[in-house]
């Protein structure tokens, strides 16, 4: 049931059973599972396909081969997570995997097939770092785009799903706004980026599916929308966040000024790609016996080490020793994009650098995606479920989106009848603000933040660098707070405010971890503590 009505306060107020903030794999899969029984609004702050999902190349991990087993996928995930995964969550996620893949196939996702040696047509599975079996199902090398466009086309056609592009959720609306339960979420204030108006969306349930926070770093594989908005909104609403220090740096982004962080999939190394120094020497064996197939953190640190040692801007990734038709058929997307940029991967190595790639921490949820706040769920990269521990294993993240999207949908449907629609909520208060006089402040602070996060809170950390970054965040926060209090909100201002908060949470978490584990590496505590613990921050 959907009804829009005008309030005398001039703000259109919109009621839905479920408001989903984010239109990636998590948000769309959740919406499709809800929509036969509930009215659903999906917001995207840019176009519907602007999230990380669109860019996922490698695929989705699941146990689909008879030689493989749930136990093995669980074990690999636990090893990658360096002692911090929640075993029960890993078990749950991995066990649900095959069913979620079947659901995607039923939706029509065109996963790549092959003719097996026994002459049977079956899905082609690839192998990625940390996986001890071939278990990554994919649609060529553009899996995320295939999943996104398939789910999107179903969502567009479903009469109960209402898609809103260029709508930026600013903050969650909590019960205390109406003098009700302050730990209940009732909706969100949403900036319409085309009109500049702030609208009120009220809902029985709100789901954060807003993705990660890679844009807090100068170099990232993430798209522009990845500014940690969901984490920041949840924190301001009173949710705990966990393990924010574990930022995964993808080892191999194309090093090219015109390619805005174009990622060279791990699958390239999985299929025999070698990492080389500028003089052509392979170097990964020096760092790990698994060489190019070592987990991402090991590869990223090795590259960082070699680049710093040699003072070079990049290293090289070479797959040109493989037959050209093998390369073009396995990696058509990477091949075409690199060719556009002047690199023929069938003939030459590619210059690559590491870049911030995945936010392992996030809003604390249980196995149903439920956060600390009543009526508020978080699914996908925004969430901390305990699956990834101190390091995400490749292709486990899309799996997490699907498994937790499904679990949250089941839970919401189970609670729908008992949960009343919130009453009309107060309009956004703009009575004390004016138009900004100096947008340059936001642009400048944005650049400054991302640079010092890269330099001081990057792949290799020290306490001194973290403290330096913390001090700078404090200064920028004050400036942005003044700005936020006095001027009309804009997209950039909201994102900057959120990025600063996320940066603060990352630094605070990194400072509190007095060891090196998984993705967190500090020269001051280079050892791993005997006991593993999560970093839980409470607002």
Ligand X SMILES: Cc1cc2nc3c(=O)[nH]c(=O)nc-3n(C[C@H](O)[C@H](O)[C@H](O)COP(=O)(O)OP(=O)(O)OC[C@H]3O[C@@H](n4cnc5c(N)ncnc54)[C@H](O)[C@@H]3O)c2cc1C
Q: What residue ranges bind ligand X (CB under 6 A)?
A: 21-27, 43-46, 50-53, 55-60, 143-144, 167-169, 209-211, 221-222, 225-226, 229, 263, 358, 380-382, 395, 397-398, 401
Beta bridge partners of 248: 358
First to last CA, the chain: 35
The CA distances from residue 211 to 116, 378, 430, in Å, are: 36, 10, 28
The answer to whether residues 443 and 490 touch, using CB atoms and an 8 Å cutoff, is: no
Beta-carbon contacts of 119 under 8 Å, excluding residues fewer than 6 positions away, are none
Nearer to ligand X among residue 39 and residue 44 (C-beta):
44
Distance CA 497, CA 479 (A): 10
Distance CA 293, CA 324 (A): 22
Element (H, E) at 402: helix 396-415
Distance CA 236, CA 301 (A): 33
The answer to whether residues 12 and 3 touch, using CB atoms and an 8 Å cutoff, is: no
SS3 label, residue 76: helix
SS3 label, residue 376: strand
Distance CA 512, CA 491 (A): 32
Catalytic residue selected from 167, 274, 296, 392: 296
SS3 label, residue 483: helix
Q: What is the CA radius of gyration of the chain?
A: 23
The CA distances from residue 214 to 3, 146, 265, 519, 520, in Å, are: 36, 22, 17, 14, 15
Distance CA 414, CA 408 (A): 10
Tokens 């966040």 correspond to 241
The answer to whether residues 81 and 518 touch, using CB atoms and an 8 Å cutoff, is: yes
Annotation says 166 is catalytic = no
Write out the catalytic residue numbers: 296
């Amino acid at each position: 049931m959907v009804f829009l009505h005008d309030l005398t306060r001039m703000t259109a107020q919109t009621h839905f059973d479920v408001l989903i903030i984010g239109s990636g794999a998590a948000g769309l899969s959740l919406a499709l599972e809800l929509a036969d029984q509930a009215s659903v609004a999906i917001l995207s702050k840019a176009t519907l396909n602007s999230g990380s999902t669109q860019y996922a190349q490698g695929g989705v991990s699941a146990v689909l081969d008879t030689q493989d087993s749930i136990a093995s996928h669980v074990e690999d995930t636990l090893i990658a997570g360096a002692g911090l995964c929640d075993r029960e969550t890993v078990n749950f996620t991995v066990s649900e995997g095959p069913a979620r893949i079947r659901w995607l196939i039923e939706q029509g996702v065109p996963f790549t097939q092959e003719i097996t040696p026994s002459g049977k047509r079956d899905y082609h599975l690839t192998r990625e770092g940390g996986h001890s079996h071939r278990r990554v199902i994919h649609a060529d090398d553009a899996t995320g785009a295939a999943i996104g466009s398939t789910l999107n086309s179903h969502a567009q056609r479903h009469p109960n799903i209402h898609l809103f592009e260029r709508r930026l959720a600013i903050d969650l609306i909590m019960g205390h706004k109406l003098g009700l339960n302050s730990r209940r979420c009732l909706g969100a204030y949403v900036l319409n980026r085309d009109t500049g108006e702030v609208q009120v969306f009220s809902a029985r349930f709100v789901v954060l599916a807003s993705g990660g926070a890679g844009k807090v770093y100068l170099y990232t594989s993430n798209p522009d929308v990845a500014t940690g908005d969901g984490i920041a909104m949840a924190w301001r609403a009173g949710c705990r966040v966990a393990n924010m220090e574990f930022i995964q740096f993808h080892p191999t982004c194309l090093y090219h000024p015109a390619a805005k962080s174009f990622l060279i999939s791990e699958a390239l190394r999985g299929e025999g790609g070698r990492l080389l120094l500028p003089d052509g020497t392979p170097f990964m064996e020096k760092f790990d016996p698994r060489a190019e197939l070592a987990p991402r953190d090991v590869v990223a640190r090795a590259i960082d080490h070699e680049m710093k040692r040699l003072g070079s801007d990049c290293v090289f990734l070479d797959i040109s020793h493989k037959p050209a038709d093998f390369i073009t058929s396995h990696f058509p997307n990477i091949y075409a994009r690199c060719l556009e940029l002047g690199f023929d991967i069938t003939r030459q190595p590619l210059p690559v650098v590491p870049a911030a790639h995945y936010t392992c921490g996030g809003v604390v949820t249980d196995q149903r995606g439920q956060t600390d706040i009543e009526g508020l769920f978080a699914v996908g990269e925004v969430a901390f479920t305990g699956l990834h521990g101190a390091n995400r294993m490749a292709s486990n993240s899309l799996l997490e989106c699907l498994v937790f999207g499904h679990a949250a949908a089941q839970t919401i449907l189970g609670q729908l009848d008992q949960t009343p629609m919130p009453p009309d909520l107060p309009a956004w208060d703009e009575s004390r603000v004016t138009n900004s006089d100096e947008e340059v402040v936001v642009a400048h602070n944005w650049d400054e933040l991302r640079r010092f996060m890269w330099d001081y809170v990057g792949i290799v950390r020290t306490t001194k660098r973290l403290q330096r970054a913390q001090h700078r965040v404090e200064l920028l926060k004050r400036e942005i707070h003044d700005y936020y209090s006095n001027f009309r909100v804009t997209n950039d201002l909201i994102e900057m405010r959120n990025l600063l908060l996320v940066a603060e949470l990352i630094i605070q978490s990194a400072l509190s971890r007095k060891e090196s584990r998984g993705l967190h590496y500090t020269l001051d505590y280079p050892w791993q503590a005997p006991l593993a613990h999560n970093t839980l921050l409470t607002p």
